[in-house]
Amino acid sequence: MRVARAALHMWEEPCISGEEGSGAVFFTGCSLRCVYCQNYALSRGETGKEISVKRLAEIFLELSDQGANNINLVTPTHFVPQIIEALEMAKEEGLKLPIVYNTSGYERVEVLKRLKGLVDIYLPDFKYWEKESAKRYSMAGDYPEAAKAALREMVDQAPAPVFDERGIMRRGVIVRHLLLPGHVTEAKKIVEYLYKTYGDQIYVSLMNQYTPLDTLDADAFPELNRKVTKREYDRLVDYAIDLGVECGYIQEGETAMKSFIPPFTLNGV
């Protein structure tokens, strides 16, 4: 496995980060190759240190000692067999924190089934409704179908949200959608699907923080070479409210900043 950062992370949803922070472990690589990736150095494997299963188990326990509210596995999919071993090892050593599986949503159901009983909180993206968008931006035309099947399995494993007395999530599913510029209609279809299929069984997190980075090929994808406007984001949020979504998170203020991307300098690895 390669890991680029293991540290307390304050920028997840409030019920995940809380005041103490989420114990985020950023794995190098990703099962998607989004052209606009906001964590490019990480997803394309340009950063990260090779570690053993035993070291990963130690990292989990170190984050617990630092006061993390949970262990947050970020882009973990391609290392699932080793992560399972490390989780089992750390739990035997006394790890009690909820385990968060933080993923692009491009998952295979049989892989998720292997995580049953080990993962408490699923934090998947639901990126695209249209195959064309999935193919154009992530080279994965089957993303919408894969994400729907994966989400069904996640909700089956964590069918109702559970919070502790501080409002920190102990169990549940939070689905994120990062609004892309010019894609409000597609985003609305996703929100409608999520709400009509799962209602208050899941939380929906609508994100406006999309930032075009230097790594984006602006000639090939000119439509993505700008931030999301306030009007676009408001249209999506209003739509969700009109639908009746109450279990959800929105972002306020100026979030589209590069500073939201943590430094991948091998902290805690």
Binding residues for ligand SF4, rule: CB under 6 A, are 30, 32-34, 37-39, 43, 75, 104
CB of residue 42 to ligand SF4, shortest distance in Å: 7
Q: Which is nearer to ligand SF4, 39 or 47 (CB)?
A: 39
Q: How many CA atoms lie within 13 A of 87 on its CB side?
A: 25
Query: Which one, 198 or 264, has the nearer CB to ligand SF4?
Result: 264
Of 61 and 190, the one with the shorter C-beta distance to ligand SF4 is 190
Residue 242 in tokens: 């009109």
Give the residue with the Cβ less far from ligand SF4, 126 or 203: 126
Nearer of residues 197 and 215 to ligand SF4, judged by Cβ? 215
In the complex, least distance from residue 138 CB atom to ligand SF4, rounded to whole angstroms: 6
CA–CA dist 28, 171 (Å, integer): 26
Q: Provide the phi-psi class of 67: left if phi over 0, else alpha when psi is between -120 and 50, else beta.
A: left
Which residue, 150 or 245, has its beta carbon nearer to ligand SF4? 150
Q: Return d(Cα 20, Cα 36) in angstroms, integer.
A: 30
CB 36 to ligand SF4: min, Å: 7
**Cβ at position 175, least distance to ligand SF4 in Å:** 14
Contact (CB, 8 A) for 172 and 202: yes
Tokens 């494997």 sit on residue: 45
Identify which of residues 69 and 103 has a Cβ nearer to ligand SF4 in the complex. 103
**Minimum CB distance to ligand SF4, residue 208 (Å):** 15
Instruction: State the nearest-atom distance from the C-beta of 17 to ligand SF4, in Å.
Output: 18
CB of 178: closest distance to ligand SF4 in angstroms?
8
